[in-house]
Amino acid sequence: MEISQLGEFGLIDRLTKDLPTVNSSTIRSVGDDCAVLRNHDTDILVTTDLLLEGVHFDLTYVPLKHLGYKSAVVNFSDVYAMNGTPRQITVSLGISSRFTVEHIEELYSGIRLACNIYGVDLVGGDTTSSRQGLVISITCIGEAEASKVVTRSGARDTDLICVSGDLGAAYMGLQLLEREKIASAGQKDFRPDFGGKEYIVERQLKPEARKDIVAQLAKDGIVPTAMMDISDGLSSDLLHIAHDSNVGCRVYEDRIPIDYQTAVMAEELGMNVIMAALNGGEDYELLFTVPLHCHEKVKDMPGVKVIGHITKPELGCALVTPDGAEIPLRAQGWNPLAATSASDKG
Amino acid sequence: MEISQLGEFGLIDRLTKDLPTVNSSTIRSVGDDCAVLRNHDTDILVTTDLLLEGVHFDLTYVPLKHLGYKSAVVNFSDVYAMNGTPRQITVSLGISSRFTVEHIEELYSGIRLACNIYGVDLVGGDTTSSRQGLVISITCIGEAEASKVVTRSGARDTDLICVSGDLGAAYMGLQLLEREKIASAGQKDFRPDFGGKEYIVERQLKPEARKDIVAQLAKDGIVPTAMMDISDGLSSDLLHIAHDSNVGCRVYEDRIPIDYQTAVMAEELGMNVIMAALNGGEDYELLFTVPLHCHEKVKDMPGVKVIGHITKPELGCALVTPDGAEIPLRAQGWNPLAATSASDKG
């Protein structure tokens, strides 16, 4: 059977079904942003990402320092998405012969910068040659109070659905970078035109993990009922929460936060900006649900927007348009097992 | 600067020098078999390995199930080498389009078998497409009593140097597999000839981690002063212990344990079997040092052999031949950053 028939999640389900665990420290296994290992009253969170040149990144327009930074930050984001704090990472690199020591130092400078900013220790890894291209595998270990870990499965009917920041910007940044790459083909001294679009380019090349939102929630005494980071796209990720929590949801189109530059870029390219926000992915914003009684607290929280609410499962998951029509949410985010280049995304 | 000028350890040294750590849980960072993270009186051990098709394995003669088994076991071995117990692994795969679902299930069946045998839980990972070949990145998390963790840096003058099992077999198994691959080229229905050499083929394709030795040491109340697993070759790995412990050593050629099949294969190929044992690597045996007063206990321990002793640093590291000559030990083990195929090994 072709792997593309199953897709990433189908394949993982098939490979990991009936996977027994035997260690008492294994609290939560495959299927969330992180695995959860218990040690006394502290939970150890573990997450890992594999990034391959030509699939996940294109060095034509991604500077190595940015790539290092982003590779680390996307792992931190998974730990924050469990309401934890990232503490350590390991970095494994496969390096083909076209890379020099200086190239790898550049990549590492980005990883180290991310570690410095987020207070994470780089504690190990593996370094080897690669026959083709750059391979980056990062594992992040985090900590959380056992009682405060937030999974994808706790959303309940009437809970509010919240997102941090704005959506679709990283995806539109990717479209812009791809357009400039095509425009530059064969031209010497080509200067890409990012004027007025710096924000969406930055969102693609140098995303941040929402440590600030996790801190704000803690400060306000809010433990979300479910949370994850938006890496595959709002639709796909919200469907994960709905599935794992056995609930439905309604998301209001006019509540979805979209930056001005994202909208302008979509307009320029003749794309539907709502589709970009729903399915673009790589936002690394936090998507979380809170009980209805937290409404007063979250509605004024800086950088957080209430975009909808959880329903009973039989109502399914839908986007509500401004005229009240309901469109079923579909997982149209990135399928990493169908992708053959970063530009296939979406 | 070309990366091959520095080699793996040179590159890692350069990338990780002056790497500050900020989290109190980070006890030991880059530079041993595992990183060590402390949580109350338990140490969390973390190790990771990146395996790339065409560099670390050749699917012409490595069955996918064996590959899965070995990929997991080599990580368990790193945890045992710190005197710990492996508890969880994450498995990330990059899969090119020539692999089917059944292929990946085969690979996973080997990983699951290893997990079952060693009592380890598979708790997560990442699965994505790859443009060329198979990419396997495994991270293993283990546990150890904080007071019982054994690093590479504790060897002291007069300590005894011990190894488990026998050395060079995996390397000679690789040579045999490579020979049969060449012999089979272009031939249909070729049957490789492994008669009488099953042990060395098994050592290459399906190595085991020495859980039994760690258990035996614990049972006898011995905490080694230094320990690591032999992955790069006895010479290279012993030099790591000597360097990190700031000591010298003497290893006696006629004490190095070599299996009969290893010797026969070396003879057949006109190779020096001692060189294979010193530099072959992939043995995944334990190399450890114990105080001299443990001599009575280790000399009769099944599967363990005393091969030499630690000296003052100024005496350097040398192999002592049967006629008493001293040959300086050199790290001639595998350089993964110079390798372009598995057959380059050694």
Record: contact B5-A101, CB cut-off 8 A: yes
User: Which residues from B are below 8 Å from A92, CB to CB?
Assistant: 48-50, 137
CA dihedral B14, A45, A128, A343 (to 10 degrees): -110
- Residue A92 near residue A122 (C-beta atoms within 8 A): no
B173 pLDDT more than 80? yes
Record: contact B101-A2, CB cut-off 8 A: yes
- Residue B110 near residue B89 (C-beta atoms within 8 A): no
Q: Are strands B85-95 and B121-129 parallel, antiparallel or unpaired?
A: parallel
Angstrom distances, CA of residue B10 to CA of A18, A95, B55, B143: 43, 14, 19, 29
The pLDDT tens digits of the residues spanning B215-232 come to 999 999 999 999 999 999
- Nearest residue in B to A49, CA atom: B126
- The predicted complex's ipTM stands at 0.90
Record: contact A90-B25, CB cut-off 8 A: no
User: Which residues from A are below 8 Å from B34, CB to CB?
Assistant: 124
Record: contact A133-B131, CB cut-off 8 A: yes
Average the pLDDT over each of A298-312, B12-26, B163-177 and give the range with the smallest value. B12-26
Record: contact B48-A137, CB cut-off 8 A: yes
Nearest by CB to residue A42, choosing from B30, B39, B135, is B39
Mutate to test the interface with B, among A127, A334, A340 (most CBs of B within 10 A): A127
Nearest by CB to residue B26, choosing from A99, A123, A338, is A123
The pLDDT tens digits of the residues spanning A307-330 come to 999 999 999 999 999 999 999 998
Record: contact A50-B339, CB cut-off 8 A: no
- DSSP state for residue A53 in the 8-state scheme: B
Q: For residue A338, what pLDDT is reported?
A: 54
Nearest by CB to residue B55, choosing from A47, A124, A131, is A131
Residue A254 buriedness (CB in 10 A; 0-12 / 13-18 / 19+) = exposed
The alpha carbon of residue B202 is apart from the nearest alpha carbon of chain A, in Å, by 25
Mutate to test the interface with B, among A128, A145, A231, A344 (most CBs of B within 10 A): A128
User: Which residues from B are below 8 Å from A39, CB to CB?
Assistant: 39-40, 42, 44
pLDDT: which is higher, B343 or B3 = B3
Nearest by CB to residue A337, choosing from B49, B88, B129, is B129
What kind and span of H or E run contains B282? none
User: Which residues from A are below 8 Å from B340, CB to CB?
Assistant: 129, 131
List, in order, residues 6 or more apart from B140 with CB less than 8 Å away: B45, B46, B47, B48, B72, B75, B76, B78, B79, B86, B88, B89, B120
The alpha carbon of residue B118 is apart from the nearest alpha carbon of chain A, in Å, by 10
Maximal C-alpha separation, chain B: 60
The pLDDT tens digits of the residues spanning B88-128 come to 999 999 999 999 999 999 999 999 999 999 999 999 888 99
- Nearest residue in B to A118, CA atom: B22
CA dist., res. A11 & res. A29, Å (int): 16
- State the pLDDT confidence band at A334, using cuts at 50, 70 and 90: low
Nearest by CB to residue A135, choosing from B3, B52, B124, is B52
B38 pLDDT more than 90? no
A335 pLDDT more than 90? no
A345 pLDDT more than 60? no
User: Which residues from A are below 8 Å from B12, CB to CB?
Assistant: 125, 127
Nearest by CB to residue A121, choosing from B5, B29, B125, is B29
- Residue A303 near residue A257 (C-beta atoms within 8 A): no
A295 pLDDT more than 90? yes
Q: For residue A341, what pLDDT is reported?
A: 36
pLDDT: which is higher, A23 or A90 = A90
Nearest by CB to residue A48, choosing from B19, B94, B126, is B126
Looking up tokens 């640093």 gives: B313
High-pLDDT (> 70) share of chain B, %: 96
User: Which residues from B are below 8 Å from A25, CB to CB?
Assistant: 87-88, 143
List, in order, residues 6 or more apart from A261 with CB less than 8 Å away: A169, A172, A196, A197, A198, A199, A200
User: Which residues from A are below 8 Å from B228, CB to CB?
Assistant: none
- Residue B111 near residue B69 (C-beta atoms within 8 A): yes
Span A98-126, mean pLDDT?
93
The SS3 call for residue B220 is: coil
CA dist., res. B12 & res. B27, Å (int): 19
User: Residue B107: how many CB atoms within 10 A of its CB?
Assistant: 25
The SS3 call for residue A84 is: coil
Q: What is the mean pLDDT of chain A?
A: 91
High-pLDDT (> 70) share of chain A, %: 96
pTM (2 d.p.): 0.91
The alpha carbon of residue B89 is apart from the nearest alpha carbon of chain A, in Å, by 10
Nearest by CB to residue A50, choosing from B55, B132, B137, is B137
- Residue A44 near residue A37 (C-beta atoms within 8 A): yes
B69 pLDDT more than 70? yes
Record: contact B50-A102, CB cut-off 8 A: no
Record: contact A105-B143, CB cut-off 8 A: no
Span B171-184, mean pLDDT?
92
Mutate to test the interface with B, among A42, A45, A139, A340 (most CBs of B within 10 A): A139
The alpha carbon of residue A3 is apart from the nearest alpha carbon of chain B, in Å, by 5
The alpha carbon of residue A167 is apart from the nearest alpha carbon of chain B, in Å, by 23
Q: Are strands B226-229 and B317-320 parallel, antiparallel or unpaired?
A: unpaired
The pLDDT tens digits of the residues spanning B283-317 come to 999 999 999 999 999 999 999 999 999 999 999 99
Average the pLDDT over each of A22-26, A281-285, A297-301 and give the range with the smallest value. A22-26
Q: For residue B11, what pLDDT is reported?
A: 83
User: Residue B243: how many CB atoms within 10 A of its CB?
Assistant: 15
Range list of β-strands (E), A42-84: 42-52
A346 pLDDT more than 60? no
A vs B, Cβ pairs < 8 A, gives 264
- State the pLDDT confidence band at B189, using cuts at 50, 70 and 90: confident
Nearest by CB to residue A104, choosing from B3, B42, B88, is B3
- State the pLDDT confidence band at B346, using cuts at 50, 70 and 90: very low
Q: For residue B323, what pLDDT is reported?
A: 96
Record: contact A123-B339, CB cut-off 8 A: no
The alpha carbon of residue B251 is apart from the nearest alpha carbon of chain A, in Å, by 28
- Residue A164 near residue A286 (C-beta atoms within 8 A): yes
Among B268, B296, B298, B276, CA closest to B345: B276
Phi/psi of residue A341, nearest 5 degrees: -155, 165
